[in-house]
Amino acid sequence: MNDVPLYRLAHGRTGDKGNTSNLSVIAWRPDLYELLVEQVTEARVAQWFEARRPSRVTRYLLPRLHAMNIVIEGVLDGGVNDALNLDAHGKALSFWLLDLPIRVPQQWIATLPDIADAHARPAAFTRS
């Protein structure tokens, strides 16, 4: 088993309402969906966003779309009224989640989508 970032198994987009974000997580292929259900859990997402002190994480499953919708309350420092963040809507948050490590059987890895030119990846701040 090896860890790969979630973006190799899924894609998604962030939406916001008030102080709540919703993050879609959509499997790139139907056969990857079960792995997401097992590993992208409410508890794990809450921990991954811990620096933002979310008050509640709710996960809704959409098996026919091979997708899940993750609703994170209290994650936007008060939302557009109060937050001082440049991105007060939290538009970037799906990209934080898409770095979540997912444990994948070794033989799957070569079959997963990846960034075409890995050398072009910029050095980035990532969670330690």
Which chain residues interact with other proteins by CB under 8 A? 7, 11-13, 15-18, 20, 22, 24, 26, 28, 51-53, 60, 62, 64-65, 67, 69, 71, 77, 80-87, 92, 96, 113-117, 120, 123, 125, 128
CB nearer to other proteins: give 65 or 109.
65
Tally of CA atoms within 13 A in the half-sphere of 79 that contains its CB: 12
Under 8 Å between Cβ of 98 and 10 = yes
CB nearer to other proteins: give 103 or 127.
127
CB nearer to other proteins: give 39 or 73.
73
- Burial grade of 33 (CB within 10 A; 0-12, 13-18, 19 or more): buried
The encoded tokens of residue 98 equal 């898409």
CB nearer to other proteins: give 105 or 119.
119
Alpha carbon separation from 81 to 14, 24, 76, 87, 89 (Å, rounded): 18, 24, 10, 12, 10
Minimum CB–partner distance for residue 63 and other proteins (Å): 9
Minimum CB–partner distance for residue 116 and other proteins (Å): 4
The encoded tokens of residue 9 equal 């198994």
Minimum CB–partner distance for residue 111 and other proteins (Å): 15
